[in-house]
Amino acid sequence: MEFFSNIIEAFSFPELVSQDGGKVDGLVIAVHLLMLVLFLGWITYYFAALWKFRSTRNPKADYKGVKNKNVTNSVEGAVIVAELILVVVATYYWNFYVNTADDYANVSAINEGSEEKRKKDLHVVRVTAEQFGWNAHYPGLDGRLGPQEKALVSADNPFGIVRDHVDGVDDIDVLKSDIIVPMINNHRVENPGETDLKLGELLTSMELKAAEAKFGPGSFEAVEDGTVRSVTIDLTSKDVIHSFKVLPLRVCQDAIPGLNIPIHFKPTKTGRYLITCAQLCGDGHARMRGVIKVVTEEEWVEWQKSESSEDSSSVQASVSAADEKA
């Protein structure tokens, strides 16, 4: 029995710790079911053809074959229809369904957006891949990533962050160590009472506590919404193409030098999860592992506070020294 349970385990999905990751699993199942239908169709056709054109029934081969073009025409027609659906429908929905700035913390939207927008979309981490590790650049408590300047890149400042810019002053950079992201549960305001909260407004745990402290307990009603705030990883690479893959989060995206690609997910469980590089990137590719650490909102804010106040160059020095030893 253990043998069978091991087989079932080997074929089942890895642990899921992201709110929308189930949709990815659903897609994987749907593709496999489609493949099963195709397989059964073609295997039936194959055996029917073997039976129908067997040599005892057809002692002499038919060298002329099929003369009309019905089959090729219908295949070409199907290809044209499929391509039209892909280009017109899929592109349309990708643009309006996936790329909605409300759904993820769009870096440029934060930098150009209103104060309200900035407040809601703070959870961005810029991840820079390099041979062979993962580096993180956090916006700090102001939630805004400082600008980067090529001329400033040095051993002390590997991302060339403009430290004397108002957004860059509290930025945190951590080289080749755990990438930390927050799990932030939403609380929906059901009854704002006499407070200045809005009906249906989503509060984080800390915002809820702050509101309770401000207005007094029982002055409004808020319930656990069951949804989680989106975390954005703004992904790029320093040298060659890498790929950021975290199975429990159901996330996999190429990191391409010169491009910033935002990916977003909603972590539902704290813990440490393995990052692997899913793109052959050089002789150290196999050991290009990292860790993404999902922490609670309180731990996230505490961590940012302690890192922002610390001298960031000493953090880097200790991290890179530890890296050299390893």
Binding site for Cu ion (CB under 5 A): 242, 277, 281, 288
Let me know: does 255 contact 281? Beta carbons within 8 Å. Answer: no
Q: How far is the CB of 177 from Cu ion (least distance, A)?
A: 17
Q: How far is the CB of 285 from Cu ion (least distance, A)?
A: 5
Q: How far is the CB of 241 from Cu ion (least distance, A)?
A: 8
Q: How far is the CB of 257 from Cu ion (least distance, A)?
A: 12
Of 131 and 227, which CB lies nearer to Cu ion in the complex structure? 131
Let me know: does 218 contact 257? Beta carbons within 8 Å. Answer: no
Of 211 and 281, which CB lies nearer to Cu ion in the complex structure? 281
Of 208 and 277, which CB lies nearer to Cu ion in the complex structure? 277
Of 192 and 290, which CB lies nearer to Cu ion in the complex structure? 290
Runs of H (alpha helix) within 176-309? 205-215, 297-309
Of 260 and 270, which CB lies nearer to Cu ion in the complex structure? 260
In whole angstroms, how far apart are CA 275 and each of 131, 173, 259?
Answer: 14, 18, 20
Q: How far is the CB of 176 from Cu ion (least distance, A)?
A: 12
Angle at 40 between CA 38 and CA 41, to 5 degrees: 65
Of 157 and 276, which CB lies nearer to Cu ion in the complex structure? 276
DSSP state of 106: -
Q: How far is the CB of 51 from Cu ion (least distance, A)?
A: 51
Let me know: does 219 contact 310? Beta carbons within 8 Å. Answer: no
Which pair of tokens denotes residue 170? 């509290």
Burial profile 224-236: b = 16 or more Cβ within 10 angstroms, e = fewer: eeeebbbbbbbbb
